[in-house]
Amino acid sequence: MTASGDRPGDALLVIDAQNGVFENAHERDAVVARIATLIENARAASVPVVWVQHSSDDLAIDSEAWQIVPELEPRDDETVVRKQHGDSFEETDLEEALARLDAGHLLISGGQTDACVRSTLHGGFVRGYHVTLVSDAHTTEDLSAWGAPPPEQVIAHTNLYWGFQTAAGRTGKVVPVDEVDFVR
């Protein structure tokens, strides 16, 4: 385990809140509104907001699909991390950014639950961070045509299993937006 979890601060990660990712997201508008509330609360508490932005063939950099959803907007002083893999830590400068921000506890929101959110939950945890999943601020699209459970079941299952994560010296928790208590 690294010493990252020993850092005192929080950081809110907003993962892939992009037009192309949220276009067909389950309860899109409600989830975006809850993410907006999280961002507002983090900013009010002087907790850093870190934006993660995925690029791929379907999310070409600078395309409309790649842009952050219009309801949410990074401020000029907030960190934006570009990634090409599900895990927001993989081949990015996220760890360095979190070290600069003195963040050892990550609060995770965004999309997609069963891809980049889940990968980043595990990526942060194995790198020594305390990781809280904000239960009502992540979403996914309906992939049941390809054998996945319906999105509400994917979200519920991820919330369920993440609440039981344990590891030496770090915690995994699940809380709804209205119970998030930012620490700075």
Asked if residue 23 has pLDDT above 60, the reply is yes
10 Å Cβ neighbour count for 160? 11
Asked if residue 160 has pLDDT above 70, the reply is yes
On whether the CB atoms of residues 38 and 107 are closer than 8 A, the answer is yes
On whether the CB atoms of residues 109 and 68 are closer than 8 A, the answer is no
Q: For residue 133, is it within any domain?
A: yes
What is the extent of the structural domain holding 41?
A: 3-179
pLDDT of amino acid 1: 45
pLDDT of amino acid 3: 60
Total domains in the fold of the chain: 1
pLDDT class of 25 with cuts at 50, 70, 90 = very high
Does residue 112 have a cis bond before it (omega within 30 degrees)? Answer: yes
Tens of pLDDT, residue by residue over 108-130, are 999 999 999 999 999 999 999 99
Q: For residue 102, is it within any domain?
A: yes
Average pLDDT over all residues of the chain: 96
Q: List the strands of the sheet with 49-54, edge to edge.
A: 79-83, 49-54, 9-15, 103-111, 130-139, 170-175, 166-167
pLDDT of amino acid 183: 75
Q: For residue 87, is it within any domain?
A: yes
pLDDT class of 63 with cuts at 50, 70, 90 = very high
Tens of pLDDT, residue by residue over 93-103, are 999 999 999 99
85: which residues sit within 8 A by CB, 6+ positions away? 91, 119
Q: For residue 89, is it within any domain?
A: yes
Tens of pLDDT, residue by residue over 145-156, are 999 999 999 999
Distance CA 26, CA 64 (A): 20
Share of the chain above pLDDT 90, in %: 93
Q: For residue 184, is it within any domain?
A: no
pLDDT of amino acid 38: 98
Asked if residue 2 has pLDDT above 70, the reply is no
Q: For residue 62, is it within any domain?
A: yes
pLDDT of amino acid 4: 82
Pick from 106, 115, 112: nearest CA to 174:
106
Q: What is the CATH number of the domain that holds 69?
A: 3.40.50.850
Amino acid letter, 136: D
Q: For residue 26, is it within any domain?
A: yes
pLDDT of amino acid 89: 98
Tens of pLDDT, residue by residue over 64-85, are 999 999 999 999 999 999 999 9
